[in-house]
Structure 1
Amino acid sequence: MLNNKKIIRAFAPATVANVSCGFDVLGFAVDQPGDEVEIALNASAEVVIKSIVGDKGRLPLQADKNTAGVAVMSLLNALGLKQGVEITLYKNLPLGSGMGSSAASAVAALIGINYLLGEPFQKKDLLPFAMEAERVACGAAHADNVAPSLLGGVVLVRGYDPLDVVDIPLSGQLYCTLAHPNIELKTEDSRQVLRQNIPLKDAITQWGNIAGLVAGLMKPDYDLIGRSLKDVVAEPIRSLLIPGFNEIKDAAVKEGALGCGISGSGPTLFALSKNYSTADRVGRAMQLQFLKHKLNSEFYVSEVNRKGAYVIAEAVTA
């Protein structure tokens, strides 16, 4: 059992899942915001969540019910280790925001514990442990948030049996605006409103948009990206849960965004732009529209994150 007196601080970024047309199969990471953890080994045989900062007391401190704890326990089990671990979680991502909050906590913890143990796993091999944490959070071990948060860039989850995650090469610059209104939507509630059967006409439209978006990102072809950022499966229904959605989307495009849609299950909206100044202007326009619907909001602007999660700092305890 290790007790190396190191404290590691790690960061994992927020993510945009679905990316409009890529429901449950596409996602990308942003630079900010994101969750952080401080993690240390000790001589016990227990994984403990020491404290959580920023969640207003809403998240469980029990390690087996917290995504950071579950992810670490899953990794240790894979190694056959009974190792004492102490975790402090800094929740910078709002809960129920559609920005991959549960995923970021799990990924940051995995980056930290893997570093402390001498990196027995390559980064991509941490993904199954993060997916187990997502199973606890929302009942399904999906990868469209954890994969981009861990690996960075734009990620395609081609399949789960076996797990097949593909990096989409991103040519050119692409900036993301995230506009988060001060309301909460639970993932399970957003999934319950979805149709279980999709007309063939809509499915064909969606397939074409996914292929167009991937091609546009790889070329790059900004006009093709814009034409492809359209969702005919989830957005028409989920948008009804977000006050002023259509006006906000129209305002974003009017200010120069390539396209705008729901980030994950919402209520955060995302927009993609060719440069920072446009993305910032888009964020202000989206924020103004939320205010017209009596909703305060904050917005974030960054390039699409190509780095993923990483260790911020290492310290040695007394």
Structure 2
Amino acid sequence: MEIKIFCPATIANLNCGFDIMGLCLENIGDEMIFRKSVTKGVQITKITGANLPYEVTKNVAGVAALALLNTVENNFGIEIEIHKKIRAGSGIGSSSASAAGAVFGVNELLGKPLSRNQLVDFAMKGEAIASGSEHADNVAPCLLGGFTLVRGYNPLDVIKIASPSELYAVVLHPHIEVKTADARAVLEPTVPFKNAITQTGNLGGLIAGLFTNDYELIGRSLNDVLVEPFRKQLIPYFDDVKIAAIQSGALGAGISGAGPSIFALCKGENLAKEVAKAMQNSYSRTNIPFDFYISKVNEQGIKVI
């Protein structure tokens, strides 16, 4: 009759995988509570941690939940509580956690008629409310865990990729706002053919490195020649933090999603702590407050708690 779930944060793009790659974080995320109701449809009964609409058709979680509930035969309604722990606009999948959590929770109360892969499509419906388009680079890793690759959308084709056991992520979140629309607006509509080849090689290298546990190859592949050169201008002191991360031993660093969060990937927890310290020291010289997180890659994704 009632369940409580944890909806993890995610890092999308991973430099060379713009709009198609993402990974799931372990210890950062929202909580949501779902209850069966005699009133048909979806109702959002409580929201904490953010100023979000209770109107179902204007809420990311509401739209995603309704899309699924209207597709599967049922004889009850759903009440949802949303407890936000991921800041909106942070670049680590705040809206995606809500959308993915909504379809996961509804599916659980329905008796799990759909697989996690099938739920991605419904989560994208909610994600579109926040970003203006249906995309899966955040909701897929949130639902499936680990790394995910969106090979295509027509039809939707998502592949989960297991990560090396010692891979850790460090995330520094400056308390500034980068609107997704602005982050899209700074991108060029066309790219040089040479850069497209470089980016494709890096994407292939990243995937190969994950499959073969080749940390050096992962590091060499975390290079973005298409998006980062334009988007980094929206994030104050981005270059300083990235240089600090790499000089302290990170495999690579870049923009998480549309920003403003900056991520680094590291081999081992001890090194991740050193990298986090270097990134903090670098950003502490600014007058911008920030949060930071250290997380192993979360292979499970959303879970009942």
- Is 1:197 matched up with 2:190? yes
Q: Measure how far apart 1:46 and its partner are.
A: 3.2
**Percent of residue pairs bearing the same amino acid type:** 49
* C-alpha displacement of 1:201: 1.0
Q: Partner of 1:49 in structure 2?
A: 44
CA distance in structure 2 between the aligned counterparts of 1:169 and 1:93, rounded to whole angstroms: 24
Q: Which residue of 2 aligns with 1:28?
A: 23
* CA deviation after TM superposition for structure 1 residue 172, in Å: 3.5
Show structure 2 runs of 5+ residues with no match: none
Q: Distance in 1 between matches of 2:41 and 2:270?
A: 48
Structure 1 match to 2:127? 134
Post-superposition offset of 1:276 = 0.8
What is the match of residue 111 of structure 1?
Answer: 104
Letter of the 2:114 partner, please give it: F
Q: Is the contact made by 1:171 and 1:217 (CA closer than 8 Å) also made in structure 2? A: yes
* 1:89-126, Cα deviation, whole Å (9 max, x unpaired): 01000000110110101112222211111111122211
**Structure 1: gaps of 5 or more residues:** 1-5, 313-318
Instruction: State whether structure 2 residue 60 is matched by structure 1 residue 93.
Output: no
Secondary structure of the structure 2 residue equivalent to 1:277: helix
State the shift of 1:81 in Å: 4.2
The corresponding residue for 2:33 is 38
Asked if 1:121 corresponds to 2:114, the answer is yes
Distance 1:236 1:32 in 2: 30
CA distance in 2, matches of 1:105, 1:121: 18
TM alignment of 1:160-239, pairs within 5 A: 160-239=153-232
Q: What CA distance in whole angstroms lies between the structure 2 residues aligned with 1:166 and 1:86?
A: 31
Amino acid in the other structure paired with 1:50: T
Aligned length: 305
The amino acid of 2:202's aligned partner reads N
Deviations along 1:226-252, one digit per CA (max 9) or x if unpaired, are 111000111001000111111100000
Paired residues of 2:174 and 2:260 also in contact (CA < 8 A): yes
**Could you list the per-position Cα deviations for residues 283-302 of structure 1 after superposition, in whole angstroms to 9, with x for gaps in the alignment?**
12212222212111111111
Q: Does structure 1 retain, via aligned residues, the 8 Å contact 2:163–2:297?
A: no
Please name the residue that 2:145 is paired with: 152
User: Is the 8 Å Cα contact of residues 287 and 296 (structure 1) preserved in structure 2?
Assistant: no
- Structure 1 consecutive aligned stretches of length 4 or more whose deviation exceeds 6 Å: none
- Check if 1:11 corresponds to 2:14: no
Contact 2:41–2:66 under 8 Å retained in 1: no
* Partners of 1:259 and 1:15 in 2: CA distance: 17
Please give the alpha-carbon distance, in whole angstroms, between the structure 1 residues aligned to 2:103 and 2:201.
Answer: 36
Q: Write the letter of the residue equivalent to 1:301.
A: I
| Offset at residue 8 of structure 1 (A) | 0.8
Give the drift of 1:82.
Answer: 6.5
The answer to whether the 8 Å contact 2:4/2:34 transfers is yes
Q: Secondary structure at the match of 2:71?
A: helix
Q: Residue 300 of structure 1: which of 281, 285, 293 is its match?
A: 293
In structure 1, C-alpha distance between the alignment counterparts of 2:211 and 2:164, rounded to whole Å = 5
- TM-fit CA distance, 1:80: 4.4
Q: Is the 8 A contact 1:114 1:121 kept in 2?
A: yes
Q: Are the counterparts in 2 of residues 27 and 156 from structure 1 also a CA contact under 8 Å? A: yes
TM, length-normalised to structure 1: 0.93
In structure 1, give the amino acid aligned to 2:206. Answer: L
SS at match of 1:148: helix
What CA distance in whole angstroms lies between the structure 1 residues aligned with 2:115 and 2:21? 22
Provide the C-alpha distance between the structure 1 equivalents of 2:76 and 2:234, rounded to a whole number of angstroms.
44
Of 245, 255, 262, the residue aligned with 1:262 is: 255
SS in 2 for 1:305: coil
Do the aligned residues in 2 keep the contact of 1:10 with 1:109 (CA within 8 Å)? no
Comparing 287-296 with 95-104, greater Cα deviation is found at: 287-296
Secondary structure at 1:64 match in 2: helix
In 1, Cα distance between equivalents of 2:53 and 2:247 = 42
Q: Is the 8 A contact 1:111 1:311 kept in 2?
A: no
Which deviates more from structure 2 when the two are superposed, residues 37-46 or residues 88-97?
A: 37-46
Residue by residue over 1:15-67, the C-alpha shift from the partner in whole angstroms, topping out at 9 and shown as x without a partner, is 11000111011111010211110110111123111111001x2x111111111
